[in-house]
A and B are shown apart, each in its own frame.
Chain A
Amino acid sequence: MYSTATRPDTSYLLRKLHSFTGILPVGAFLAEHFWSNSAALVSAEKYNTVSQELQTIPFRLIVEWGAILLPMLFHGGYGVYIWLRGKSNVSAYPWVGNWLYLTQRYTGLIAFAYIGWHLYTERWLTHGRSTYANVAADMRNPWYLVFFVVGVLASSFHLGAGIWNFLCKWGLAATVKAQQAAGRLGALVGVAFSLVGILIIISFRYDWHPFSVYLPNR
């Protein structure tokens, strides 16, 4: 009777890994990235200090590849594979969850494309030594600016909806009530990340540093 294999299918493990990497490290990195970049809201000097701190961490390449780039490539690549194996049907069944299912795929693709471009302009072209002046200069280009806004909104939405998916899919929010709460949490994260992201963009574009009031000797 117990002859059935107890080892799960590889597709099961890959899907779990896909779901997990979305939160850790990819989602966590997004949170860290927004937090670090918020330094621009204080001052250009503060931003440069914070980014130099990050640019000079020990084992930088290993951390960048192992904890950020490879998990992101896997999450994005496997995400596309998942997308291809689904068949959206919002026109027939326009329920909220179904819309989220569809939007999660498009925002994922937009975020993936954006992150690729973002890495190229802010990491590759600056040889990993990007400064406030580099980013502020890029923001002068209206096309870059639009892409920044779209990228930030897509990433924030994808993380918010992803948190909801994660909590449901790992059974951490199992009851209907818990899933509604998870949905509200996801919405809150999505909105909060969008707001902070847009504020950072405004900060670079208009040299706007509202938190400079914290600085001791102005």
Chain B
Amino acid sequence: MAETKQVAVRVKRQAGPREAARWEEFSLKWRPSMNVIICLRDIAENPVTRDGKKTTPITYDSNCLEEICGSCAMLINGKARMACSALVDQLEQPIRIEPMSKFPLVRDLAVDRQFMFESLKRVKAWIPIDGTYNLGEGPRVSPEVQEKGYPLSNCITCGNCLEVCPQVNEHNQFVGAAIISQVRLFNMHPTGAMNKSERLAAIMGPGGIQECANAQNCVHACPKGIPLTESIAEVNRDAWKQALLGWLVG
């Protein structure tokens, strides 16, 4: 019967980066349109495991609940995805929930994605519009460029593309697809293009675009459907032209 339907959830818990990890199992009351975040909220409301043992609410990041803020990325049944759009009815049970493995753990399901923010700073992922005097109006952006740029601007820095990338690991400081795609976005903009060579130089630095090995997992994992492999190819083309032909033809 519908009212007795239960949802089985297993959550990987870890009190801190140096603490031992353990699994906790929960049995939650099923609700229509239930997603993984609702499961975590229900646990917070009544933090009791399936065996009736009292525990603590689970630490996790989430905010918008509509796949737009990028904070609730985690491993659900072993796959990197947004918890808010992971619907319980479409998941095999027990639902295994783990923190992302490629970022430093904070606690339970919360990870620190500062690496991505630092990488965005490294490639100057912004358009400089401030000056010591009035710079006036910027150049117009053609509808063509707007159309190409808009999907790229949808990036929510969730980190799923880094999580699924075989080249992002403890031996390799690869910045990942999201950052390369932002280089493309800001180089595409006529004002942003003023820093194009700097961005390209940065993305050819340590852990840069050269670390991409074309496994193309990123484009499958992106919750926003960003054409990441296209971005990588385009930035790659601009990069080698600057690096290998720059000294010849300027």
- B211 / chain A contacts, CB cutoff of 8 Å: 11, 15, 85
Q: Does A53 contact B (CB under 8 A)?
A: no
Q: Which residues 1-49 of A have a CB within 8 angstroms of B? A: 1-2, 4-9, 11-13, 15-16
Q: Cβ of A101 and Cβ of B215 under 8 Å apart?
A: yes
The residue on B at minimum CB distance from A173 is: B233
Q: Does A55 contact B (CB under 8 A)?
A: no
Q: Cβ of A98 and Cβ of B233 under 8 Å apart?
A: no
Q: Which residues 203-227 of B have a CB within 8 angstroms of A? A: 204-206, 208-217, 220-221, 227
Most buried by B among A98, A169, A172: A169
User: Which of A60-68, A89-97, A123-131 lies at the interface?
Assistant: A89-97
Most buried by B among A12, A88, A97, A176: A12
Q: Cβ of A7 and Cβ of B201 under 8 Å apart?
A: yes
Q: Cβ of B234 and Cβ of A12 under 8 Å apart?
A: no
Q: Cβ of B166 and Cβ of A9 under 8 Å apart?
A: no
Q: Cβ of B230 and Cβ of A176 under 8 Å apart?
A: yes
- A9 / chain B contacts, CB cutoff of 8 Å: 204-206, 208, 210
Instruction: State whether A12 and B169 are in contact (beta carbons under 8 Å apart), knowing that A89-B164, A173-B233 are contacts in the complex.
Output: no
Q: Cβ of B79 and Cβ of A92 under 8 Å apart?
A: yes
A contacts with B, residue count (CB < 8 A): 39
- A215 / chain B contacts, CB cutoff of 8 Å: none
Q: Cβ of B79 and Cβ of A97 under 8 Å apart?
A: no
B contacts with A, residue count (CB < 8 A): 45
Q: Which of B208, B216, B230, B238 contacts A175 (CB 8 A)?
A: B230
> Given the complex of chains A and B, what is the CA–CA distance between A170 and B244 in angstroms?
12
**Distance from B28 Cβ to chain A, minimum over Cβ atoms (Å):** 25
Q: Does A69 contact B (CB under 8 A)?
A: no
Q: Cβ of A86 and Cβ of B213 under 8 Å apart?
A: yes
Q: Does B167 contact A (CB under 8 A)?
A: yes
- A171 / chain B contacts, CB cutoff of 8 Å: 233-238, 240
Q: Does A121 contact B (CB under 8 A)?
A: no
Instruction: State whether A93 and B230 are in contact (beta carbons under 8 Å apart), knowing that A86-B167, A86-B169 are contacts in the complex.
Output: no
Q: Which residues 160-192 of A have a CB within 8 angstroms of B? A: 164-165, 168-176, 179
- B78 / chain A contacts, CB cutoff of 8 Å: 92
Instruction: State whether A93 and B213 are in contact (beta carbons under 8 Å apart), knowing that A87-B171, A170-B237, A171-B240 are contacts in the complex.
Output: no
Give 1 or 0 for each of A56-90: 1 = CB within 8 Å of chain B CB.
00000000000000000000000000101111110
Most buried by B among A9, A100, A170: A9
- A93 / chain B contacts, CB cutoff of 8 Å: 79, 164, 217, 220-221
> Given the complex of chains A and B, what is the CA–CA distance between A144 and B192 in angstroms?
59
Q: Which of B197, B206, B217 contacts A95 (CB 8 A)?
A: B217
Q: Cβ of A179 and Cβ of B229 under 8 Å apart?
A: yes
Q: Cβ of B210 and Cβ of A11 under 8 Å apart?
A: yes
The residue on B at minimum CB distance from A92 is: B78
Q: Cβ of B213 and Cβ of A13 under 8 Å apart?
A: no
- A179 / chain B contacts, CB cutoff of 8 Å: 229-230, 233
Q: Cβ of B169 and Cβ of A87 under 8 Å apart?
A: yes
Q: Which of B166, B229, B239 contacts A87 (CB 8 A)?
A: B166
- B202 / chain A contacts, CB cutoff of 8 Å: 4
- A100 / chain B contacts, CB cutoff of 8 Å: 214-215
5 pairs of A and B residues whose beta carbons are closest in the complex? A171-B237, A97-B216, A8-B204, A101-B215, A15-B210
Additional 8 contacts, C-beta under 8 A, given A1-B195, A170-B237: A6-B246, A8-B205, A85-B169, A97-B215, A169-B214, A170-B236, A172-B237, A179-B233
18 interchain pairs, CB-CB under 8 A: A1-B198, A2-B198, A5-B201, A8-B204, A8-B243, A13-B243, A86-B167, A87-B167, A87-B169, A93-B164, A93-B217, A98-B215, A101-B213, A169-B233, A174-B234, A176-B227, A179-B230, A179-B233
Q: Chain B interface (Cβ within 8 Å of chain A)?
A: 78-79, 128, 164, 166-167, 169, 171-172, 195, 197-198, 201-202, 204-206, 208-217, 220-221, 227, 229-230, 232-240, 242-244, 246
Q: Chain A interface (Cβ within 8 Å of chain B)?
A: 1-2, 4-9, 11-13, 15-16, 82, 84-89, 92-93, 95, 97-98, 100-101, 164-165, 168-176, 179
